[in-house]
C-alpha cells in the first residue's frame, strides 16, 4: 500500500463522507426539532436522483403525479381542519402550495421533460418536484401525532420508509440509473487525479453547511427552529408554531436529501432502494453526535466515509460489518459518558 | 345509485367472486411465486410479465396462472407456495426467482408431492435428484455450465491469472466456487478475490487492490445494473486486462447505465440474448425469436431479457408435459395428476426452448447441455455473438 493508494482512498472516503455528513445533519435537524428519527431521509436521496435521471433520459418521472396526489390529500386535510375550527385564513396560501405548485409542475412536465433540456433546468425541476414532498408528508403523517412518544414516531418512520421504497420501485423500476456529471474534467494534484465532480460535491456540501449555519444563526426562522430544538414547550409559549417548525424542518431535510442524491448520481449507480443504506450511514454519523451535535455528526460522517473506503480496500467482504460494528462502542461511550436528558418530560 | 342498491350490488359481486373458483376447479392450475419486489425485482418483474404471454389452453384443458409476489424473501416464498398448494390446489409450482427461496421451497415440493419448476440458477436446487428433489426441475442454466464457457474463452484469450470481484452474498460465493474450480481445471489461477454489495456507492478500494494484483483478466460476478459499478471503476483506475461478466449481466439496462465503460467485455449468456444473430440451423433460434417477438409486442422494443426467458421456458416445459399427464387419465387437481405431471416432466426430451434444448432424465432435472450457452462480447453498446469462443 503506497501513498498513491492512500490518497485515492482518502479522496473516495471524503467524498462519500461529505454525503453522509449532509444526511447526518438533516437527521440531527429533524430529530431535535420534531423528535422524529427520520428513517425515510434516504428515500429522498433516491427520489431526487432518480427523478433527475428520468428527466435527463426524457421520461416523465412518477414523482409528478405523486406530488399532485400528495398535494390534493394535504389540501383535503387542511380543508377539514379549517372547517372544524372555522378558521379560513391561510387557506389561500395552503391552496397555492398544495394544489397550485403541483398542478403547475404537472402541466409543465410534458414541456420540460426531454433529452434536450439543460441539466440545470432538469435539476431545478426535480428539486421542485421532490422537495415539497417533505412538508406534505409531515402534514399527512407526522403532524397529527406530533405529540406522540419518540417510539411511536420511529414506528411511523419505518412504515413511511417501506411505503416510499415501494413507490420508488413502482415509479423507477428495479434497475439502477446514472446521470451525466455536472462538471466534466480532471484536476491533477500530485500523484492523484481528482475528478472535477469530486470538487463539485465537496464544494456544494461545504456551501450547504455554511448556508445552514447562516440560516440557524442569522435568520428569524432559523432561530425559531433552534428555539424549538432547545425547548419545545418554551418555544410554543413565546409564540413559535411547532407545526410551522416541523414543516420547515421537513422541507430542509427533503431538500438536503434530494440534493445529495443528485450530487452522487453521476459517480455511482442509484437504485430505488439505495437511499436506505446511505441514510443509515448518515444515521451512524448522527449517532456519533448523539443526535444533537452538528459538528460532531459532520466529523463522524467523514470518519465513516474514510473508514468505509479503507475497509473496502483491506477486507471488502467485511466492509459493512466494520462500519456498523463501529456504532456499538460509540453508543456505549455516549451512554456512559454523557448525562442522559429525557426530553419526553 | 342509492345505498341499498350499492350494498346489494357488492353482496352480489362478493358471492360471484366466491363462486368463481368453485366453477373453475376442473382446469389445470399453475401456481407462480416470483420476486417482483425486493432486491431481486429486476429478475422477478420480467418473469411476472412473461406469465401473461403463456398459453391459456394446453391439450384442450383450460390453464389458470396464479401469480404471487414474495418480495425476494425466503419465508414469503415458502408461505406463498403453501398457500398456492393448500388454498388454490395448484397442479404445479413455478418459482421463485432466486436460489435461497427456491432451495427452501424444495422441501415443500417433496412434502406435498407437487412438481415444482424453479427459475433460479443454483445447481443444488435439483442436484442430486433424490428425496424431495425428485419433484423439482429448473430452467436456468447451471452456473457451472456458464463458468465452463468462461474458462474456455479465457484459455483462448491466453489468460493465466484471474481476478474476481463478486457480490457479498450467496450469488457471489457460489460463483467464486464454480469459477475457481472451472478455472483451475484449465490451469488458470484465481489470484485476487474482492467483494462488494449490490447497493454500494463506491468500489474504489476493491478496484485499486485488483489493479495492484495485475491479473490477466477480471471476472465481475453480480446481476443486473449493479455490475456496472466495478466495471467502470476498474476502467477508470486504468485496468487494461480483459473484463468478464457472468450471465447475470445479460440485461439491456446494464448497457444503458454502463455506457462505453462496458465495451469489450465478455460474458456467457443464454442464446436468447443474441437470438437474431444465431445461425439458422441453431435449434434454439426459432423458439427464442418467437418469445422475443411476443414479449416486445406487449412491453415495447428492446425490453426483453434472459430472466423472463426462464419463465417462458418453464411454460414450454409445462406445455410439453401436460398432454402426457392427461393421457394417463388423471384429473387435474388430484394427487394422481401431480404425480403424472412430474413423471411427464422427467420424460421431456430434445425440447428446444428460448435458452437451449431440454433433455430431462431421472438423474438430470436441469436438462441443459452446451447448446444452452453462447459467448457474447459488447461492441459499441450492442451484444455481439462470438461463435468462435
Could you tell me the pTM of the whole model?
A: 0.82
Chain B partners within 8 Å of A8 (Cβ): 204, 208
What share of chain B in percent tops pLDDT 90? Answer: 63
Containing domain of residue B149, as a range?
A: 143-269
Nearest-by-CA chain A residue for B35:
A174
pLDDT tens profile B255-304: 888 888 899 999 999 999 999 999 998 989 999 999 999 999 999 888 88
Gap from A316 CA to chain B (nearest CA, Å)? 5
Same domain, B147 and B96: no
Domain annotation covers residue B118: yes
Look at residue B105 and tell me if it is in a domain.
Answer: yes
Packing angle, helices B143-156 and B170-185, rounded to 10: 50
Residue A80, min C-alpha distance to chain B (Å) = 24
Determine whether the interchain pair A277/B41 forms a contact, defined as Cβ–Cβ distance below 8 Å.
Answer: no
Residue B282, in any domain of the structure: no
Whether a cis peptide bond, with omega within 30° of 0, leads into A325 is: no
| Residues of chain B numbered 168-207 and touching chain A (CB < 8 Å) | 168, 194-206
B80 touches A: beta carbon within 8 Å: no
DSSP string, B182-247: HHHHTT-EEEEEEEE-TT-S--HHHHHHHHHH--SEEEEE--SGGGHHHHHHHHHTT--SEEEE-G
Instruction: State the Cα–Cα distance between residues A334 and B1, nearest whole angstrom.
Output: 64
Please report whether residue B387 resides in a domain. Answer: no
Residue B274 belongs to a domain: no
- Which of A166, A175, A268 lies at the smallest CB-CB distance from B37? A166
Q: Please check whether residues B111 and B158 belong to one and the same domain.
A: no
pLDDT digits (tens, 9 = 90+) for A181-197: 888 877 777 777 777 88
**B257 inside 8 A of chain A by CB:** yes
Contact B201/A166, CB-based, under 8 Å? no
Q: What mean pLDDT is reported for chain A?
A: 88
Phi-psi region of B69 (alpha: psi -120 to 50; beta: other; left: phi over 0): beta
Question: Which of B176, B193, B200 is best to mutate for the A interface (most A CBs within 10 A)?
Answer: B200
Identify whether residues B111 and B160 lie together within a single domain: no
Q: Residue A312 and residue B39: Cβ atoms within 8 Å?
A: no
Query: Measured on CA atoms in the order A215, A220, A226, A228, is the torsion positive or negative?
Result: negative
pLDDT digits 0-9 by tens, A232-271: 888 889 999 888 899 999 999 999 999 999 999 988 899 9
CB of B278 within 8 Å of a chain A CB? The answer is: no
The closest CB to that of A316, out of B206, B225, B226, belongs to B206
- Rounded mean pLDDT of B160-166? 95
Output Rg (C-alpha) for chain A, integer angstroms.
20
Q: How far is B195 from chain A (nearest CA, A)?
A: 5
Cβ B360 vs Cβ B354: under 8 Å: no
**What are the two backbone dihedrals, phi and then psi, of residue B304, each rounded to the nearest 5 degrees?**
-70, 145
Can you tell me the ipTM of this complex?
A: 0.80
Q: Say if residue B51 is in the same domain as residue B103.
A: yes
> Which of A14, A176, A281 is the mutation pick for testing B, counting most B CBs within 10 A?
A176
DSSP per-residue codes, B242-298: EEEE-GGG-SHHHHHHHGGGGTT-EEEE-GGGGGGGS-TT-HHHHHHHHHHHHHHHH
In CATH, what number is assigned to the domain containing residue B256?
3.40.50.2300
User: Which residues, numbered 236 to 265 in chain A, qualify as contacts with chain B under a Cβ-Cβ cut-off of 8 Å?
Assistant: 264
**Which cell is B195 given?**
467483494
What one-character DSSP code corresponds to residue B24?
T
- pLDDT tens for chain A, 345 residues long, are 678 888 889 888 998 999 999 998 899 889 988 889 999 999 999 999 999 999 998 889 999 999 999 999 999 999 999 999 888 888 888 898 899 999 999 999 998 888 888 889 999 999 999 999 999 999 999 999 988 899 999 999 999 999 999 999 999 988 889 888 888 877 777 777 777 888 888 899 889 888 888 888 899 999 998 888 888 888 889 999 888 899 999 999 999 999 999 999 988 899 998 888 898 888 888 888 777 777 888 888 998 999 999 999 988 888 888 888 887 888 888 777 665 555 444
Those residues whose C-beta lies under 8 Å from the C-beta of residue B264, and which sit 6 or more positions away, are: B242, B243, B377, B378, B379
Task: For residue B42, give the nearest of A175, A316, A319 by CB distance.
Answer: A175
Alpha-carbon distance of A299 to A286, in angstroms, equals 10
Together in a domain, B178 and B200: yes
- What is the chain B residue with the closest CA to A53? B257
B243: left (phi over 0), alpha (psi -120 to 50) or beta: beta
Alpha carbon of A267: minimum distance to chain B alpha carbons (Å): 8
Q: Which of B249, B269, B289 is the last residue of a domain?
A: B269
Q: What sections of chain A are H helices per DSSP?
A: 3-34, 41-56, 63-85, 91-95, 101-112, 119-130, 133-137, 150-172, 196-218, 220-230, 232-237, 242-264, 274-288, 294-314, 319-325, 327-337
B198 shares its domain with B250? yes
B189 in a structural domain: yes
The phi, psi pair for A206, rounded to 5°, reads -60, -45
A2 touches B: beta carbon within 8 Å: no
**Shared domain check, B245 and B161:** yes
Shared domain for B122 and B210, answered yes or no, is no
User: What is the spatial distance between Cα A103 and Cα A91, in angstroms, rounded to a whole number?
Assistant: 17
Q: What is the mean pLDDT of residues B325-339?
A: 91
* B170 and B70 co-located in one domain: no
Cβ of B168 and A166 within 8 Å?
no
Report yes or no on B283 lying in a domain. no
C-alpha A345: how far from chain center = 28
Strand, coil or helix: B361: strand
In sequence order, what are the beta bridge partners of B245?
A: B220
Residues of chain B positioned with their CB less than 8 A from the CB of A16: 201-202
B235 with B358, same domain: the answer is: no
Instruction: Count CB atoms within 10 A of the CB of residue A182.
Output: 17
Chain A residues whose CB is inside 8 A of the B202 CB are: 12, 15-16, 267-268, 308-309, 312
Q: How many domains does one find in chain B?
A: 2
Amino acid at each position: 500500500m503506497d501513498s498513491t493508494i492512500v490518497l485515492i482512498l482518502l479522496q473516495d472516503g471524503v467524498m462519500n463522507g461529505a454525503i453522509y455528513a449532509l444526511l447526518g445533519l438533516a437527521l440531527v435537524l429533524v430529530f431535535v426539532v420534531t423528535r422524529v428519527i427520520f428513517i425515510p431521509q434516504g428515500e429522498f436521496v433516491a427520489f431526487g436522483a432518480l427523478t433527475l435521471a428520468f428527466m435527463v433520459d426524457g421520461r416523465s418521472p412518477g414523482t409528478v403525479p405523486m406530488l399532485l396526489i400528495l398535494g390534493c390529500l394535504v389540501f383535503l386535510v387542511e380543508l377539514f381542519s379549517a372547517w372544524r375550527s372555522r378558521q379560513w385564513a391561510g387557506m389561500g396560501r395552503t391552496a397555492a402550495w398544495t394544489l397550485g405548485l403541483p398542478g403547475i409542475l404537472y402541466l409543465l412536465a410534458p414541456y420540460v421533460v426531454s433529452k434536450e433540456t439543460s441539466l440545470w433546468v432538469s435539476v431545478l425541476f426535480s428539486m421542485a418536484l421532490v422537495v415539497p414532498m417533505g412538508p406534505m408528508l409531515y402534514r399527512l403523517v407526522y403532524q397529527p401525532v406530533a405529540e406522540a412518544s419518540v417510539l411511536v414516531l420511529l414506528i411511523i418512520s419505518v412504515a413511511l420508509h417501506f411505503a416510499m421504497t415501494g413507490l420508488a420501485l413502482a415509479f423507477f423500476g428495479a434497475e439502477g440509473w446514472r446521470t451525466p456529471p455536472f462538471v466534466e474534467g480532471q484536476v491533477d494534484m500530485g500523484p492523484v487525479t481528482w475528478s472535477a465532480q469530486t470538487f463539485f460535491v465537496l464544494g456544494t456540501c461545504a456551501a450547504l453547511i455554511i448556508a445552514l449555519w447562516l440560516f440557524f444563526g442569522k435568520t428569524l426562522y432559523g432561530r425559531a427552529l433552534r428555539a424549538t430544538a432547545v425547548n419545545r414547550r418554551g418555544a410554543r409559549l413565546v409564540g413559535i408554531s411547532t407545526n410551522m417548525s416541523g414543516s420547515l424542518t421537513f422541507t430542509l431535510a427533503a431538500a438536503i436529501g434530494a440534493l445529495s442524491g443528485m450530487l452522487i448520481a453521476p459517480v455511482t449507480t442509484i437504485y430505488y432502494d439505495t437511499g436506505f443504506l446511505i441514510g443509515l450511514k448518515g444515521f451512524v454519523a448522527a449517532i456519533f453526535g448523539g443526535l444533537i451535535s452538528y459538528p460532531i455528526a459532520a466529523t463522524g460522517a467523514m470518519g465513516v466515509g474514510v473508514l468505509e473506503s479503507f475497509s473496502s480496500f483491506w477486507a471488502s467482504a467485511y466492509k459493512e460489518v466494520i462500519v456498523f460494528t463501529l456504532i456499538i462502542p460509540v453508543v456505549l461511550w455516549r451512554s456512559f459518558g454523557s448525562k442522559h436528558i429525557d426530553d419526553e418530560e | 345509485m342509492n345505498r341499498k342498491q350499492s350494498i346489494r350490488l357488492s353482496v352480489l359481486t362478493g358471492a360471484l367472486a366466491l363462486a368463481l373458483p368453485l366453477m373453475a376447479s376442473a382446469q389445470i392450475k399453475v401456481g407462480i411465486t416470483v420476486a417482483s419486489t425486493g432486491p431481486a425485482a429486476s429478475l422477478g418483474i420480467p418473469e411476472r410479465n412473461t406469465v401473461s404471454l403463456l398459453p391459456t389452453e394446453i391439450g384442450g384443458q383450460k390453464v389458470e396462472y396464479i401469480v404471487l409476489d414474495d418480495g425476494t424473501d425466503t419465508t414469503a416464498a415458502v408461505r406463498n407456495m403453501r398457500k398456492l398448494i393448500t388454498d388454490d390446489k395448484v397442479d404445479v409450482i413455478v418459482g421463485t426467482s432466486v436460489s435461497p427461496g427456491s432451495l427452501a421451497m424444495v422441501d415443500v415440493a417433496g412434502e406435498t408431492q407437487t412438481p415444482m419448476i424453479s427459475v433460479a440458477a443454483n445447481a443444488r436446487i435439483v442436484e442430486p435428484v433424490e428425496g424431495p428433489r425428485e419433484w423439482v426441475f429448473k430452467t436456468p442454466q447451471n452456473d457451472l455450465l456458464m463458468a465452463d464457457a468462461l474458462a474456455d474463452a479465457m484459455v483462448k484469450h491466453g489468460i493465466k491469472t484471474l481476478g474476481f470481484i463478486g457480490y457479498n452474498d450467496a450469488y457471489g460465493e457460489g460463483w467464486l466456487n464454480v469459477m475457481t474450480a472451472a478455472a483451475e481445471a484449465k490451469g488458470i489461477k484465481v489470484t485476487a478475490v474482492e467483494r462488494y454489495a449490490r447497493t454500494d456507492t463506491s468500489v474504489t478500494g476493491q478496484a485499486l487492490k485488483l489493479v495492484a494484483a495485475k491479473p490477466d483478466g477480471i471476472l465481475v460476478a453480480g446481476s443486473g445494473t449493479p455490475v456496472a459499478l466495478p466495471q467502470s471503476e476498474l476502467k477508470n483506475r486504468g485496468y487494461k486486462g480483459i473484463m468478464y461478466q457472468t450471465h447475470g449481466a445479460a440485461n439491456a439496462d446494464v448497457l444503458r447505465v454502463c455506457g462505453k465503460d462496458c465495451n469489450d467485455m465478455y460474458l456467457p449468456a443464454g442464446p436468447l440474448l443474441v437470438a437474431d444473430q444465431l445461425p439458422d440451423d441453431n435449434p434454439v433460434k426459432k423458439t427464442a425469436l418467437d418469445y422475443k417477438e411476443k414479449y416486445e409486442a406487449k412491453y415495447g422494443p428492446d425490453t426483453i431479457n434472459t430472466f423472463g426467458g426462464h419463465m417462458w421456458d418453464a411454460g414450454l416445459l409445462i406445455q410439453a408435459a401436460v398432454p402426457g399427464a392427461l393421457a394417463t387419465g388423471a384429473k387435474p387437481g388430484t394427487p394422481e395428476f401431480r404425480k403424472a405431471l412430474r413423471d411427464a416432466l422427467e420424460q421431456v426430451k430434445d425440447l428446444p426452448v428460448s435458452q437451449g434444448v431440454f433433455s430431462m432424465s431421472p438423474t438430470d432435472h436441469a436438462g441443459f447441455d452446451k447448446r444452452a450457452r453462447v459467448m457474447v462480447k459488447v461492441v459499441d453498446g450492442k451484444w455481439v455473438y462470438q461463435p468462435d469462443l
